[in-house]
């Protein structure tokens, strides 16, 4: 009788797309072993994989379905300041200001543009094959990752930017004031998202589709609809020690300061 019940449950789960035991929004599930990502200094999701750089300079890829990880290439990445993804490649900006394309299958790399050209970068993100960066001067730049050529966008309005976030089409800035702005990627024109200073206590954020997920110093997780600016809290305030918030395969993941990796359920 028990075998029949289990079979029925499995069949129902298959019929309903595996959502029979759907997790509540804001709940979480550990991936891999606790503390495996303790020494992570940079991280990005691409496809269904997590890519991380450790303080030792080693680049790792992790299958988030299993938590199994492997090293890519040599320990050459200890000076990574920003780690991003474009297509099937990783993109890094080093502390020296040099920009590199990294082969995500073997860890080999190639410089883009001139050495040190991104030395004053304070925020960076990628849309398609273009990297958007903000410099200490407040200038927003767009760089073609194929050629390394760059252009200035709009006016130098971004000196107070603390983060650049993006999805496949949308560019968003988070300012030190706690205010968010949607940026038109071609012209640099901007408009405010939500109320001023709504995000002044935000310590982490990631844009996934049309939803912005942010974590506050209190540990609360919020989802903001970037079309309307409306937000709601998800789950309990369990996230105060989040070090990285990541989009991996269209899902929300976090790496805690303890080095543990979690999948966060958002709906």
According to the model, what pLDDT value does residue 10 have? 36
Q: Over the chain, what HEC string results?
A: CHHHHHHHHHHHHHHCCCCCCCCCCCCEEEECCCCCCCCEEEEEEECCEEEEEECCCCEEEEECCCCEEEEECCCCCCCEEEEEEECCEEEEEECCCCEEEEECCCCCEEEECCCCCCCCEEEEEEECCEEEEEECCCCEEEEECCCCCEEEECCCCCCCEEEEEECCCCEEEEECCCCEEEECCCCCCEEEECCCCCCCCEEEEEEECCEEEEEECCCCEEEEECCCCCEEEECCCCCCCEEEEEEECCEEEEEECCCCEEEECCC
- 188-198 CB burial, b ≥16 within 10 A, e <16: bebeebbeeeb
Q: What is the pLDDT of residues 228-266, one digit of tens each?
A: 999 999 999 999 999 999 999 999 999 999 999 999 999
According to the model, what pLDDT value does residue 42 have? 98
Mean pLDDT of 153-160: 95
According to the model, what pLDDT value does residue 120 have? 98
If pLDDT is split at 50, 70 and 90, which confidence band does 87 have?
very high
If pLDDT is split at 50, 70 and 90, which confidence band does 15 have?
very low
If pLDDT is split at 50, 70 and 90, which confidence band does 23 have?
confident
According to the model, what pLDDT value does residue 3 have? 38
According to the model, what pLDDT value does residue 163 have? 97
51 has pLDDT over 70: yes
If one compares 194 and 19, the residue with the highest pLDDT of the two is 194
pTM of the complete model: 0.90
Mean pLDDT of 15-41: 80
Taking a C-beta distance cutoff of 8 angstroms, is the pair 67, 261 a contact? yes
Average pLDDT, the chain: 92
According to the model, what pLDDT value does residue 267 have? 87
According to the model, what pLDDT value does residue 22 have? 63
Four-residue CA torsion sign, 196, 198, 222, 219: positive
Q: What is the pLDDT of residues 162-200, one digit of tens each?
A: 999 999 999 999 999 999 999 999 999 999 999 999 999
If pLDDT is split at 50, 70 and 90, which confidence band does 14 have?
very low
According to the model, what pLDDT value does residue 7 have? 40
If pLDDT is split at 50, 70 and 90, which confidence band does 35 have?
very high
Mean pLDDT of 122-135: 98
């Amino acid at each position: 009788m028990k075998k029949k019940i289990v079979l029925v449950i499995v069949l129902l789960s298959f019929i309903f797309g595996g959502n029979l035991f759907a997790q509540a929004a804001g709940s979480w599930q550990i991936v891999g072993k606790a503390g495996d990502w303790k020494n992570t200094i940079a991280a990005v999701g691409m496809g269904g994989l997590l890519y991380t750089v450790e303080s030792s300079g080693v680049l790792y890829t992790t299958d988030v379905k299993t938590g199994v990880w492997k090293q890519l290439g040599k320990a050459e990445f200890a000076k990574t300041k920003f780690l991003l993804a474009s297509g099937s490649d990783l993109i890094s900006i080093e502390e020296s200001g040099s920009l590199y394309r990294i082969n995500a299958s073997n860890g080999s790399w190639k410089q883009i543009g001139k050495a040190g050209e991104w030395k004053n970068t304070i925020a960076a993100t990628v849309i398609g094959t273009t990297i958007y960066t903000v410099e200490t001067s407040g200038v927003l730049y767009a760089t073609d990752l194929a050629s390394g050529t760059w252009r200035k966008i709009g006016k130098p309005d971004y000196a107070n930017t603390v983060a650049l976030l993006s999805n496949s089409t949308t560019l968003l800035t988070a300012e030190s004031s706690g205010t968010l702005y949607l940026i038109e990627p071609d012209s640099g024109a901007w408009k405010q998202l939500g109320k001023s200073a709504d995000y002044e206590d935000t310590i982490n954020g990631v844009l996934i589709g049309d939803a912005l997920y942010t974590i506050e110093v209190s540990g609360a997780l919020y989802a903001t609809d970037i079309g309307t600016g409306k937000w709601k809290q998800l789950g309990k305030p369990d996230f105060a020690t989040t070090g990285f918030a990541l989009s991996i395969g269209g899902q929300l993941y976090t790496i805690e300061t303890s080095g543990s990796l979690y999948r966060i359920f958002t709906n």
